[in-house]
A and B are shown apart, each in its own frame.
Chain A
């Protein structure tokens, strides 16, 4: 358990299984000494100096469930006998000890919940004691490294600085009891995150719901009453107007009023809830440079364990966030304060494989899916109305529907999609839950329309065959399990990262490919490639496909039936990139009018790039210049490489390391999408794929505008009586 100490008398120390006895053996001797530990000891740590000339003393730090204590032992160099010198009293909290040596002197620094104590290894006289000022952070240090400096100006006065890791996963520097700085290093192990809206007044939500359900006249009267009640907020609103005017003229952002959390009119003030693998949950303020609003330990995990989060959902109506773990644990927190509202402890083994937000009779629920895709019986008010797609035991995909049986409902498998024998699934891309489509067709340059294949029940599955080094990409219909489109790529390196992402009628896949072209040129390609595929209703424009103008369709109808499923026509193109991509995600905006960009993390450049759709376009003309009609559409000539333009890297000059996932959220304004990336580093920003077309820029000269209007008004008011007088005078004059 511990080997080391100073090389004059190095030791080996270990405890027995129940942690009641400590055995010490000085290396080189044959005898073993035994010391009793305090009852109820949970963990033991040994701290010893490293320098050759330091005294052969070591400290045994034992933690119980509620407190910690320490014993200091001296080793007699001549006899190689270890004997106890003194012990330190038990104090509450985990406590942290640290050794530091200065020549022959060995000092032990003890950091408890309230104090920082400096001791010498020789005797238990306290050399220095400082009260701990942790700046209203209630965490206590669990591990520390200290440095002791003896101040030569006064005798027996020391200065200690210790870098400590606290129980809230923060890394702080404590200098003589004062916290010099504190870094939230615990955010580095993020596994799941979601955007959450700042909860509005609950009464407002309730009254809005009430209005929605009553008849129009009652609703109107209710609303008028509510507005009259809201007049009490008018003075505060009027007070805030000057500061808002000045900030809008100066171009600065409007900061929160009174320091309270409030939504803003652009929709940029949101919260990001981040869950880390060490069991901590953080609430970040997206509108305020990612300031940490609260952090909470949701789960106590033993060392080395990591929290496997299978689902995280933010509910706008109640302002709560639900986090599901894979061991059946569930935590419900309030989004703005982090207060834990409900918690279910984890079970002994993994029981939840994934989760999904389903539509039920009682609203939207987070449904946990058990191991091997089994869900089990559900009560009828929690039965999903949709087909739930889960992963089976062999990695196959299956669709599960629920049929009612009295007051509960049982599941039946509706379809199964099994891969060929040697293939394994590497990536699945699904659509975001709320995806508005702005137009159902693409207008070509000659004003014909190519209709998009818009089927919300689809997903993209990427599977590899390791032996044959091929990648197969399938577009599956999730209601029937039918393969709508499939493509196979040879020469793919299956060991490297393969990712897919999908949006309205197109999807992208990135992989590393190395192959010889099949035409006669004997050229070979090697590089990181990205395939983009567009889905259309039919090959020729102005054709809505076999379903024509029908307003509804059912995927379950057979193909001969005109109402049945129709296969999309796929147009795809491959490009070679100059850097590998991972963590692909498509931007989302509120109404889907702005063009969409594909966000990707570049592991080698440590940045996040935003690839515009105009470049990732499968209809780009190959081998020729675009015709005027195509140029009007915005199609450029096909060029096989995509050079990642440093201007499109949204992390700018920052180094962002280890991103595993990127999430996007729409704001209230149509031009902007909020982006949040996490992994090791946490990065958040706003992107405007079609530039900020609906927000006045900082260059807009509001002062000139207002000044012109005021000057013209003043001019009109000044000249009006003069003009009137002149007109009246001219009426009185005789005609010439």
Chain B
């Protein structure tokens, strides 16, 4: 009887947010300030060993949400309480399939798919780059120089940051497959670089012809000399 009184006393003072199974559980009773409790309550409380601060219990057991409007479901991933809200949700969302936690293999597959998308991204930009290069012409104007500069900078910067780009997709298990993806990424960047080089070649800046190396060729020295005295 004393126990019941205690229980009622506690429950009347406590907020309805608490859902304590055992009245003696220390975690539940933390929120009650010591001064408002009855002396018997206080003594009960004081008997229990040190209580954790309120914020610790708040953090580890967030209060269950009792929605005013039962029709609005919780957003996915919202930490709903185990018993109370899960029951509510089960009742509300019958039609939605349950999202169970994906297994590690499925995570890997997803990450690989994402990685492939990142790897093939440069190729998607190539036709547009190609058309812009074609438009900018073969003469040495400021626009063409800027275009060529961009065409060289992006692949090189991309290649240097390969590891960084695939950092989020790396896990221990799919490392071998990620290396394949990385190689494909580098190949795509090289393709973009090749476009830049082709553009530079069509502008005539690459030393591909004999006339570019003419300055290094030397005149033939004659072994004999003659001087006219006419």
Contacts and interface: CB of A to CB of B under 8 A. Distances in A.
A684 interface: no
A553 B211 contact: no
B225 A457 contact: yes
A387 B222 contact: no
Given A449-B210, A459-B228, A553 B222 contact: yes
B214 interface: yes
B217 A440 contact: yes
Contact of B226 (A354, A388, A550): A388
A369 B212 CA distance: 47
A323 to B, nearest CB: 16
Contacts of A387: 224-227
B154 to A, nearest CB: 30
A187 interface: no
B229 A369 contact: yes
B57 to A, nearest CB: 36
A397 B212 CA distance: 42
A440 B209 CA distance: 16
Interface string B180-219: 0000000000000000000000001000011110110111
Interface string B136-179: 00000000000000000000000000000000000000000000
A386 B227 contact: yes
Contacts of A457: 222, 224-226
B230 interface: yes
11 contacts: A359-B225, A367-B229, A389-B229, A443-B214, A454-B220, A457-B224, A457-B225, A457-B226, A542-B210, A551-B218, A552-B221
A437 B227 contact: no
B225 A385 contact: yes
Contacts of B210: 447-449, 542
Interface string A442-480: 011001110000111101000000000000000000110
Given A354-B229, A430-B230, A439-B215, A556 B222 contact: no
B223 interface: yes
B224 A358 contact: no
B209 A389 contact: no
Interface in A550-570: 550-556
Contacts of A440: 214, 217-219
B128 to A, nearest CB: 30
A357 B230 CA distance: 11
B214 A478 contact: no
Nearest to B218: A551
A391 B230 contact: yes
A386 B225 CA distance: 5
A92 interface: no
A553 B223 contact: yes
Contacts of B229: 354-356, 367, 369, 388-390
Contacts of A428: 228, 230
B228 A449 contact: no
A552 B212 CA distance: 23
A367 B229 CA distance: 9
Contact of A547 (B211, B214, B220, B223): B220
Interface string A639-659: 000000000000000000000
Which of B217, B218, B227 has the most chain A CB atoms closer than 10 A to its own CB?
A: B227
A199 interface: no
A441 interface: yes
B214 A441 contact: yes
A384 interface: yes
Given A455-B222, A555-B224, 4 more contacts: A389-B226, A443-B211, A447-B204, A447-B209
A179 B71 CA distance: 129
Contacts of B228: 356, 388-389, 428, 430, 459, 478
A64 B223 CA distance: 61
Interface residues of B, number: 21
A399 interface: yes
A547 B209 CA distance: 21
A389 B224 CA distance: 13
Interface in A379-398: 384-391, 397
Contact of B211 (A385, A399, A447, A454): A447
Given A389-B230, A443-B214, A449-B214, A555 B222 contact: yes
A728 B215 CA distance: 56
A147 to B, nearest CB: 50
A74 to B, nearest CB: 60
B219 A454 contact: yes
B227 A456 contact: no
Interface string A380-420: 00001111111100000101000000000000000000000
Interface string A477-495: 0110000000000000000
6 A-B pairs closest in CB distance? A356-B229, A478-B226, A387-B226, A447-B209, A554-B223, A443-B211
A439 B211 CA distance: 11
A357 B224 CA distance: 16
Interface in A354-370: 354-359, 367, 369
Contacts of A556: 224
A479 B227 CA distance: 9
A388 B227 CA distance: 5
Contacts of A391: 230
B201 to A, nearest CB: 12
A369 B211 CA distance: 45
A450 B210 CA distance: 10
Contacts of A399: 226
B226 to A, nearest CB: 4
B230 A479 contact: no
A551 B220 contact: yes
A484 to B, nearest CB: 13
Contacts of B226: 386-389, 399, 457, 478-479
Contacts of B215: 439
A387 B222 CA distance: 13
A479 B224 contact: yes
Interface string A327-341: 000000000000000
B146 to A, nearest CB: 25
A359 B223 CA distance: 15
Contacts of A433: 227
Nearest to A456: B222
A433 B229 CA distance: 12
A549 B220 CA distance: 8
Given A552-B222, A553-B220, A356 B227 contact: yes
Contacts of B224: 386-387, 457, 479, 554-556
A386 B224 CA distance: 7
Contacts of A443: 211, 214
B222 to A, nearest CB: 6
Contacts of A553: 220-223
Contacts of A355: 229
A391 B222 CA distance: 24
A479 B222 contact: yes
Nearest to B225: A386
A92 B229 CA distance: 45
Contacts of B218: 440, 551
Contacts of A359: 225, 227
Contact of B227 (A389, A397, A454, A552): A389
A415 to B, nearest CB: 10
B222 A554 contact: yes
A190 to B, nearest CB: 20
B219 A448 contact: no
Nearest to B209: A447
Nearest to B215: A439
Contacts of B220: 454, 547, 550-553
A390 B223 contact: no
A552 B223 CA distance: 7
Contacts of A459: 228
Contacts of A369: 229
Contacts of A389: 226-230
A505 B143 CA distance: 41
A439 B214 contact: yes
Contacts of A388: 226-229
